[in-house]
Structure 1
């Protein structure tokens, strides 16, 4: 396996660092528009693991917005797999470039949505991933696989959905992704500050778009942002957090392969975060349409959302000032395989202190990066196989979860996942 990794930001950097401890690939090319960022990642791998490990890595400059450039870089390095680790606005170009290069493709966020033009808070417009699923026939005809939504969310929760359907439930009432954290970021003086742990560009997109809900009778519908608040109790000391509906890929993926009466995604944003997002929207600072701005060198055009992203701390750099844990998981209700009512929460917790010590990566980006590496290893070994545009639910979950939890000294990733039965 020869991998072209597109993007050396927080998640791309963590993907390379996790992969450095594995031996399933021949070459991993870390690419970025700023090749110095890619080089910094490879330099870290060399310093931590030595020249022999670093010899399996290379760097390249890439323009992720140009499918011809993506295809050219992939061909130059003989890439068999293109791993997309940049913002979802680049999905169409990387997706097209991978297919043109006759390579398989993976991403952690899918093609963007467009709200319904007249009734956005009850009806869907263009849904997340619609553009990619529309090209399924092209990928199938080429004999290539596009594995979409294989980060942590989407990704691990989708694997949990497949596992629950195959091993825990006879009938599923609801698949409810529930994510929360107790992370705190401080400034140099120790004061808590507003610093999102993931790309604010992506966060704005997810949180201010109308959330999607899937129900067996009505299919995909939408609600207003931050709807249906509920308090969810997260494990391992995180505790109860109010969660609200957020637009996310799991709701668009799970019903395609897993039978359930309802699918939802709720995230523990917190009152402060919701307030900030609402203010950004009120001021028009969530817009991606460029506006004319005066400068000393004359007028320039800039997207307000890009300004917000530039003004906030880079999520890849806040790890040393962050404390706490983040939890990603799936709450499932229904009838167990024994015919009795059942309710479980399947989850994985990432501790920032540990990820910083082991990988010099903050826990949110590290947890996101873990799952595509596991998926790549399963694909390399032929354990997972497929063609066309597929989500994680299309594959057997048991090998993924077993490899994830198996101790490192036994060839696994040493990341146990948890399951809580929440109904006596």
Structure 2
């Protein structure tokens, strides 16, 4: 039994650092003389499980209720200790305790020495920065303190600058409004330009379409023009060729084939050794009538007494004094010499027309000349060789040889007349 008034308490506790999680080593408070005299003792032992054994043994007076009071253990304290307990600190302590008991606040104590040193270093750094900020604030306050007059002057200058800035702002605002109006007008112009551009694109497409159609038409017309020009050149070539040719020479071909004259491949005459049909003779007489009529029209001659009508192998002469009288310039070779022979009268009338052409051409004094003289009233043609012989173009009381020679002389005179007319009137 221990004596009354002395209580020995042994307890097992584990303390961990709230920052790094390492176990804390408790630190025994140093013994004071008073504690030694009172016989109090505190021992700490380590158990097998690594737990810290803390024991406290000191004598203390018993309370009224008979409980034994023990002295508190020593830990590393954080923060600044408050030497003087004030009402606000007490209230704060009560609030903190209530928060800890209710679980609204987490106790971050105790800390190990390393974490405590690290925390103190951080606090020292923050404190140094706060002191530097405080010095900077004091310096700013000292430098910004000005005299009342300087402040008024500064206020006046700032007010003037403010008014100037307000004027600039008003001007810029007005300029901005003008720019906005200009922008709106530019946007409207842009829309109009876009609409106009779209319309121009449409017109351009239509123009291209019409241009292609017109270009195709132009190419076709160019081809046609080239073809027409080729035809024109061919026609001009033919015209030039024809203009250089003599229409009379091309139309009437007269030459002599032995004792017989030929016009356009039709023989005019008859010989016993060269029999010619009256159909060919009538065709030859039709060609001579056509040639004499063409020559008369060329020089503008109008025949007297008889009108020459060219009708091929049935040509004839019509009397200008008696409409009922017409003389056939064709025959079938069966005329009766005892009857009136109209064919011979037609040959004499033809010779009369030939004499009228000669006289009219000689009046023009253009070098007209015929090699054989003609006597229409007798119906004869004189030989140009100077022999003085003449030959009749009538069949009555005439030989076929002399009649054929007279027709040959007649064709020669027509050939000379044709050459003269071709030389002077073909271009006209």
* Interval containing the TM-score (normalised by the shorter chain): under 0.3
Structure richer in strand, relative to its length = 1
Q: Name the TM-score, length of structure 2 as normaliser.
A: 0.18
Q: Which has the higher contact order (CA 8 A, sep 6+)?
A: 1
Q: Name the TM-score, length of structure 1 as normaliser.
A: 0.18
Structure richer in helix, relative to its length = 2
- Bigger radius of gyration among the two: 2
